[in-house]
């Protein structure tokens, strides 16, 4: 008789525990404002506390990186480094920034200089070192040509451990084409450190994932470069990142002409022929650098640059909506609308297309 209440408690606790287990993992989601963009972090987990701690940690990390890596605002490390380069001086920088710059130097070389984060002065000249979209006429030809002739290149940077100098004073680093991919890699790693192995981190359509969404893969949409909506859907596997560069993202408009924020370092002018370039890779930083490089490469050189950068999953959309893609990309992508034309190309450099 006396054991009954105790039994009842044991039964109740066991039931509650089972109920908690049966609930299992669910979606937890939070959005941060970092790098001037909204970063959506989602984890499929039964550890809400770990999720909230991880998000707070990432928020702090990203706010700090934003200050340190900013190309033109404040007194961060990158602003000081660019000043040192201009003055022909040497500057000791953090290991983290040095690592970021070493990686971007490597990708700049792989891309044959089409991804070139040393063209900060050119980006500034076109008015993209501003929170507001630039207005007015484009810069004059002479100023553009002057910066092109100065030929700033990542190869000009000399590393002596973390002490950096540039042989060319026109080098000014702008990490706008690269930092997001690097940060997405970091976010996925950090979530995993907090025991969150099933996550998606999405900054305006650029994303990396880990694990899966329960018994299904994470599924995402790739934004159509012209107008609203989605051009394609895709299942993203554990560890993959999907990065897109688009000339629709930021531009300068004057006299009915749009000047994109992605510049061709060879002539100093915004790219015209490509509306967007999408890359899937296990490395978000590589994918970010490559998406920018492929936007510059355009329909005539995209296969060559994809091969040089070791990519097998690439898609370009041109100004007419024509789609160029690799066979691996074609196999997995699900287009959500009829395309005017689809051209499949294997990465390589035989010069055609
Ligand atoms: P993304 O959206 O990743 O293609 O990055 C574009 C941003 O990178 C621009 O807003 C510029 O700050 C910078 N940028 C523009 N053209 C280039 C280029 N050819 N290589 C490297 N960075 C660039
Ligand atoms: Mg990029």
Which tens digit of pLDDT belongs to each residue from 110-136?
Answer: 999 999 999 999 999 999 998 887 888
Q: Candidates 3.40.640.10, 1.10.3720.10, 3.30.360.10, 3.10.520.10; correct CATH number of 26-353?
A: 3.10.520.10
For the chain, the farthest-separated pair of C-alpha atoms sits apart, in whole angstroms, at 98
Mean pLDDT of 159-184: 96
pLDDT digits (tens, 9 = 90+) for 205-233: 999 999 999 999 999 999 989 877 899 99
Q: State residue 247's pLDDT score.
A: 78
174 close to ligand 1 (CB < 6 Angstrom): yes
Residues 6 or more apart from 82 whose CB is under 8 A from it? 71, 120, 171, 172, 173
pTM over 0.85? The answer is yes
**Contact present, 35 and 66 (Cβ < 8 Å):** yes
pLDDT digits (tens, 9 = 90+) for 185-212: 999 999 999 999 999 999 999 999 999 9
Q: State residue 271's pLDDT score.
A: 94
Pocket test for ligand 1, best of 69, 181, 263 (most atoms within 8 A of CB): 263
Pocket test for ligand 1, best of 117, 292, 316 (most atoms within 8 A of CB): 292
CB-based burial, 317-326: b 16+ in 10 Å, e otherwise = bbeebebbbb
Phi (first) and psi of residue 125, to 5 degrees: -60, -40
Q: How far is CA 65 from the centre of its chain?
A: 15
**Contact present, 269 and 311 (Cβ < 8 Å):** no
pLDDT at 257 over 90: no
- Ligand 2 centroid to residue 276 C-alpha, Å: 11
Which of 331, 325, 328 has the alpha carbon at shortest distance from 345?
325
Q: State residue 173's pLDDT score.
A: 97
Q: State residue 245's pLDDT score.
A: 95
């Amino acid at each position: 008789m006396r054991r009954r209440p105790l039994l009842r408690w044991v039964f109740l606790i066991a039931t509650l525990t089972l109920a908690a287990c049966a609930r299992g993992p669910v979606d937890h989601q939070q959005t941060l404002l970092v790098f001037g963009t909204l970063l959506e972090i989602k984890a499929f987990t039964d550890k809400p506390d770990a999720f909230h701690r991880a998000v707070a940690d990432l928020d702090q990390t990203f706010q700090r990186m934003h200050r340190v890596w900013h190309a033109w605002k404040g007194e961060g490390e990158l602003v000081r480094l660019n000043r040192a380069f201009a003055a022909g001086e040497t500057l000791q920088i953090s290991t983290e920034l040095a690592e970021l710059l070493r990686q971007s130097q490597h990708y700049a070389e792989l891309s044959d200089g089409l991804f070139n984060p040393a063209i900060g002065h050119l980006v500034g000249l076109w008015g993209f070192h501003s929170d507001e979209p630039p207005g007015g006429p484009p810069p004059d030809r002479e100023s553009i040509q002057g910066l092109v002739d100065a030929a700033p290149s990542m190869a000009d940077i000399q590393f002596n451990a973390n002490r950096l100098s540039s042989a060319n004073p026109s080098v000014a680093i702008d990490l706008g084409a690269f930092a997001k991919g690097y940060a997405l890699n970091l976010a996925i790693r950090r979530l995993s450190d907090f025991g969150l192995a099933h996550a998606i981190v999405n900054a305006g359509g650029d994303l990396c994932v880990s694990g899966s969404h329960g018994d299904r893969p994470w599924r995402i949409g790739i934004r159509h470069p012209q107008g609203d909506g989605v051009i394609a859907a895709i299942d993203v596997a554990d560890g993959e990142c999907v990065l897109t560069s688009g000339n629709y993202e930021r531009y300068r408009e004057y006299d009915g002409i749009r000047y994109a924020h992605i510049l061709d370092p060879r002539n100093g002018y915004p790219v015209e022929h490509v509306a967007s370039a999408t890359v899937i890779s296990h490395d978000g930083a590589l994918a970010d650098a490559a998406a920018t490089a492929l936007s510059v490469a355009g329909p005539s050189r995209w296969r060559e640059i994809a091969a040089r950068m070791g990519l097998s999953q690439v898609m370009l959309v041109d100004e007419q909506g024509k789609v160029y893609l690799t066979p691996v990309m074609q196999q997995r992508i699900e287009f959500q609308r009829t395309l005017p034309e689809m051209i499949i190309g294997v990465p390589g450099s035989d010069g055609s297309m």
